[in-house]
Amino acid sequence: MNLPPNPGIARGRGRGRGRKPDEEANRGLAPLLGQSSNSSHTERNQASGGNGGGGDAQVGPPMREVQIPNSEGDPRGSVRGRRLITDLVYSRPQGMTSKKGVVGTHITVQANYFKLLTRPNWTIYQYRVDFTPDVETTRMRRSLLYEHKRLLGGYIFDGSNLFCNNQFKAVQGSPYVLELVTKSRAGENIEIKIKAVGSVESTDDQQFKILNLIMRRAMEGLDLKLVSRNYFDPRAQINLENFRLQLWPGYQTSIRQHENDILLCTEICHKVMRTETLYNILSDAIRDNDDYQSAFKRSVMGMVILTDYNNKTYRIDDVDFESTPLCKFQTNDGEISYVDYYKKRYNITIRDFKQPLVMSRPTDKNIRGGNDQPIMIIPELARATGMTDAMRADFRMLRAMNEHTRSPPDRRIERLRMFNNRLKSCAQSVETLKSWNIELDSALVEIPARVLPPEKIVFGNKIFVCDNRADWTQEFRNCSMFRNVHINRWYVITPARNLRETQEFVQMCISIASKMKMNIAKPIYEEIPDDRNGTYSQAIDNAAANDPQIVMVVIRTPNEEKYSCIKKRTCVDRPVPSQVVTLKVIAPRQQKSAGLSSVATKVVIQMNAKLMGAPWKIEIPLRGLMTVGFDVCHSPKNKNKSYGALVATMDQKESFRYFSTVNEHTKGQELSEQMSLNMACALRSYKEQHRSLPERILFFRDGVGDGQLYQVVNTEVNTLKSSLDEIYKTAGKKEGCRLTFIIVSKRINSRYFTGHRNPVPGTVVDDVITLPERYDFFLVSQAVRIGTVSPTSYNVISDNMGLDADKLQMLSYKMTHLYYNYSGTIRVPAVCQYAHKLAFLVAESINRAPSAGLQNQLYFL
């Protein structure tokens, strides 16, 4: 390909001088261990679908980040990947003898865990390794040390620190325990001096970091390819040629101390590999755009790419159109062009000498290693990874991917067993595990579990006992909603040319609402001549001036910019509940009446819920219970902004009102500094309605990783408890606030199966694979038709409500039935999903705090 003439392109020396290619720039090493180291079709929907006791989390020192250096493919004692090492956060109350519940039907399930048959009874010794004369590259250091593998036994080496289970005696009169001599490729004698530094005992938590590194070493023997942090099997790749994609199956593993045993968790994962390179994207930009440079930058900025020649991933931060592969950079042997470097180092011939170079800024790890120069990458050598928004909107492609990535339980179990067999049959993997005296069980771990009693869905004229489908959509055919809000005045804003289709859909909504004992009057139609953003804004202003209960806005096709304009107007400038629908959904060309009736039913349910109605309810035995959900969403348009949303119920038993609020967070901030203030506002709203404070508060916190538990306890929980206790004591309650704070985690690798099938909704696991330092349990609350169901992890960080484990588990399960945007159970408690929905709306479309006039309504549903 020949690029259009560019006066900035230099031949020979150019702007690229002094910048190293990606492989050369990534040399920094950090210390290894012990060193500082469904839903409605019309609105956007994000639905995913022992003895209790008081006590707070006991927290150790703050998190330490440990860098495990990247290897370049050399198996000689290398360590690969990156891990965040966190100190344990103890949330299990002191004196709690059992955190297991007893309510429900007792069953046995299998999980994606393998037991370590023998607990390691060794001490890991840490040594410092020095080379004289100094050997610059880590690969050469590993190669020289590998020649003494028989003497060293099983070991892990990162280029400077050596870990092994052999203790060497110190050389008499020398600070070193070993002094070895080997020859370099040039025949030069190299002295290797090994000095004792410290040790890691088998009772030390650091041993699990070592065990995970050993397992990664064992996996290298399976001919898997390390991409980012996980191992994948390119030989088993699945080609989706119609979409220029490949799927690489792989594994995520983790060894940890669970209740009674050390267990290896193994999860099946897939890496989406695009077959197109940055050069292909550049060619498309040149072909389709006059300003190809801007188009190319828009396409690749922020993209993660993979360079096959060294198996590393990078994030694209900029494009340098003035640098080409003919530019030179400085090496230890003098200047060399990128063309000559790749030919000499990798025997790769670069075809296009005029292509620009893409740039990746050095990471913190690079900078700590002394490399602060940008990393320059050749487009034709860089493969694009991940999926674009256009790909995610391609349902044909997603359907083709799901056929391979959503494995049913029986196929997933078979693949787990195959992985186990490969580890036990591969000579290199067996040698690695045997050298550390590690033996892995062949069978999946079996766990006692329970199925909680089914919940009763209460409608206006009927009670439905939820079955294993966890779906009551069909019940609305002959059931009225529990609490209806009649709509007497409302507006419908629609393009004039589509008035007839809109009126037909509105009439269907009115007819279906009457069957559910909800009265919807005929609306006032606001016809607009075109579908420009300004026209919609003016129409919303005209409608809002007449104080409608709700406004329905019809758009022709899904459009992000138009949707944002409508929501900003209805949520901020002229606050009024709104319902956005698209003609593609409400008036399709080939829509069966049953399908359109289903859409109308969901629209009616949504509008009722937005106006503080209750489509259904669940029987909650506790009076005066406030449930709270909190989540954070990052803005895709402005990476420096995040939004934290809090949604609280106003007495889960008697009231169907909600309180919601959103705060902007600083760059990358997951933890909320305004949580206490927002809770004070929620309590004020509760007191205005009930003239008293809630007796109990059940707080569900979503969006927290293990590495953030320490900060959550110290930043959020302790501050929140102090603030609430002060409010309650001021109100005359001397005992303070009765609060339970639970971390809800969806992104976990644990899976469990009933036989070779998915567990039914309500299946709880609170033993064996739970963690001994936590008051935690797993819950499957939803049903899936395709693939393997994912449980949700609940970690009780703080609890003084006085409820036992059974009640907390059942309350959590009940809360998953109350998300009014989906007539079925979801993965998390409804307040968590409401908080996510609100945070997502603000981050994606509004980008500012909504009007306080809407804070008592589910306007964001």
Q: Which residues are catalytic?
A: 631, 702
Q: Using DSSP, how many helices (H) and how many strands (E) does the chain show?
A: 22, 41
Query: What residue spans of 361-394 are helical by DSSP H?
Result: 364-368, 389-392
Residue 115 has φ and ψ, to the nearest 5°, of: -85, 140
Pair 28, 366: CB distance under 8 Å: yes
Q: Tell me the β-bridge partners of 553.
A: 493, 580
Separation between Cα atoms, residue 327 and residue 341, nearest integer Å: 11
Give just the sign of the alpha carbon dihedral 632, 636, 642, 645. Answer: negative
Q: Give 297's contacts (C-beta < 8 A, 6+ positions apart).
A: 318, 319
Bridge-based pairing of strands 696-702 and 739-745 is parallel
Exposed/middle/buried for residue 291 (C-beta within 10 Å: 0-12, 13-18, 19+): exposed
Which H/E stretch holds residue 499? helix 499-515
Separation between Cα atoms, residue 271 and residue 227, nearest integer Å: 8
Pair 12, 325: CB distance under 8 Å: no
Separation between Cα atoms, residue 573 and residue 311, nearest integer Å: 50
Task: Provide the Cα torsion 159, 162, 163, 169; round to 10°.
Answer: 170
Q: Which of 237, 244, 240 is nearest to 284 (CA)?
A: 244
- Name the one residue in this structure whose structure tokens are 């370590």: 116
Give just the sign of the alpha carbon dihedral 375, 381, 385, 388. Answer: positive
Separation between Cα atoms, residue 566 and residue 543, nearest integer Å: 13
* Residue 3 Cα distances to 277, 299, 355, 396, 632, angstroms: 16, 17, 7, 34, 44
Convert 664-704 into a string of H (helix), E (strand) and C (coil).
Answer: EECCCCCCCCCHHHHHHHHHHHHHHHHCCCCCEEEEEEECC
* Residue 126 Cα distances to 66, 85, 185, 203, 206, angstroms: 15, 17, 28, 16, 12
Residue 695 has φ and ψ, to the nearest 5°, of: -75, -35
Q: Which of 499, 666, 662 is nearest to 567 (CA)?
A: 662
What would the DSSP string read from start to end of 287-320?
HH-SSHHHHHHHHHTT-EEEETTTTEEEE--EEE
